[in-house]
Amino acid sequence: MNFLNRVHNRVSDVCEQKGEAPWVERLVLTDEVVATLICMPPGNSSRRHYHPDNDEFWVVMGGELVWEIEGEDPIQTKQGDVMRVPKGKAHNIVTVGPNDSLRLGIGIPDIPHIDSTTGELFN
């Protein structure tokens, strides 16, 4: 099933079809906005990176995550929390606890992701 740019998506349907974590499903992609649903198993983390010119934000929809943001103490989040990482701040997101995490990332399309250690550009 293709979920991209549908008028309505039920998150439970996306999760059921995608199955076991880890997975990523882009739900919206227009010239102005991108929304990506991200499911990660316990212990999984994102690659430590930053976005030089753009803030990034997420809605936590399930599980527990720890956000490691440059210049901040680690922040533990759970379902219903909203997180923002300011542009230029290196960050890493770690799934903690016994359950998969689920978060909806919202931003602008094709912002550069730059690895904090190697300087490599990735998506």
Ordered structural domains, the chain, with CATH = 11-122 (2.60.120.10)
Q: What is the pLDDT of residues 78-111, one digit of tens each?
A: 999 999 999 999 999 999 999 999 999 999 998 8
Q: What is the pLDDT of residues 41-77, one digit of tens each?
A: 999 999 999 999 999 999 999 999 999 999 999 999 9
Please state the pTM of the whole predicted model: 0.92
Say which residues have a Cβ less than 8 Å from residue 95's Cβ, sequence separation at least 6.
40, 41, 42, 43, 44, 45, 63, 64, 65, 101
